Amino acid sequence: MINKQDFHRRIIVLAAGILLLMVVPDTLSANGRESFEAAYRIEKKNPERAMQLYQQALQGGLNTELRRAAMWRLFYLYQDLGYYDQAIRLAASLGVNPTRVKKVSGSLVENVGKKMNLDRERAGLYVNAMHQSRYPESSDCQITESEYTEALKAYPEHKALQSMLAKGALACKKGSVAIGAFRKCASRLCQFQLAELYYDTNQYSRGRTLMMGLALQSDLAAADRSRILYMLGKSWREQRDCGKATYYYRLAAQYADEERRERHNALAAYSLYSCGLKNQARALFRSNQAADDEMLRIFNLVLEADVDKDPQAKKELKDMRPRLLKMKQQGMATALVTDALRLARQEQ
């Protein structure tokens, strides 16, 4: 339910948008205004597309008042559609008074709780951790070990909460705090996240010891065995031991379902490729077409371009360069994307 103040605020913003569309000066960027008008027309019918158009409008150029109206519309769309991270960031940019910011945060916490099935206290912790993970420079980073521990105790099998708490702690350079809390959580999911934290803090031997201990348990499902082997492969890859990384990734593939099997084999192949064993990598990955997975498709193109010397693959990588640059900026599969960009720059 939208409270009365929020309802009135939305009405005011909508009215401002209508008036501004009527009186904006001719010097306003045509692209920005056209995107704003298009977004406003379809907002109720297609909110996802409207969100994209408001973003384009802000990038295209708007005057101060119309820009503020677009930001408020975008904020409400972020909130309604569940883009909580973006909503938090945009709320900080709107320059509203502290009381209003508190109410906005409360609304976000409520929505997070409903969407993720968390109580209000833990939903607030999730939001704070998310803010820490994305914008540590503007966060007070005050989540304590006891708060982490209580959250894990209340939701020992909540993967999204665990992942966000770990990310928030790492961003604030409080990995040891999160590790202390996760060590008190006995669930298998907590143990996997604890191993990830060990890896993220360069404690690879501790992570491997933890995974080897899990591997001795008798009630493991195939998916759990696959994940344990994957985690072992990941640790060796991070330490540049390509042989062991490849070995464990291939073992992980044997226990995985069809979709993950292909990814684990690709990781094994990439471990070989990154160590200079390009022909062996191609031999392992040759049968995988990887048409439906962007990362696997990129790796397949990298092998075709670098090992098979296929000019068409180089051309495809060159055509993908804008997308690859964006992926690199977002920190997505940085090593693979860097290899793809290197090949895209080469002359055919």
CB 67 within 8 A of CB 59: no
**Separation of CA 82 from chain center:** 14
User: What is the percent of the chain with per-residue pLDDT over 90, rounded to a whole number?
Assistant: 44
306, 307, 312, 316, 321 from 348: Cα distances, Å: 11, 14, 9, 12, 15
Give the tens place of pLDDT for each residue, 67-125.
888 888 888 888 788 777 677 677 767 765 667 667 777 888 888 899 899 999 999 99
Give the tens place of pLDDT for each residue, 13-46.
454 444 444 444 444 455 788 888 888 888 888 9
Give the tens place of pLDDT for each residue, 203-260.
999 999 999 999 999 889 999 999 999 999 999 999 999 999 999 999 999 999 887 8
CB 225 within 8 A of CB 263: no
Q: In terms of residues, how long is the chain?
A: 348
Q: What local confidence, expressed as pLDDT, does residue 12 receive?
A: 47
> Residue 297 has which token pair?
């498709």
The count of other CB atoms within 10 Å of the CB of residue 82 is 14
The count of other CB atoms within 10 Å of the CB of residue 215 is 14
- Alpha carbons within 13 angstroms on the beta-carbon side of residue 106 total 9
Residue matched to tokens 């929505």 = 111
The structural domains of the chain, with segments of one domain joined by +, span 301-348
Residue 283 has pLDDT above 60, yes or no: yes
Q: Which residues contact 281 (CB under 8 A, 6 or more apart)?
A: 269, 270, 272, 273, 303, 307
Q: What local confidence, expressed as pLDDT, does residue 204 receive?
A: 96
294, 314, 328 from 323: Cα distances, Å: 11, 15, 9
Backbone angles phi, psi at 254, to 5 degrees: -65, -30
Rg of the chain taking only CA atoms, in angstroms: 24
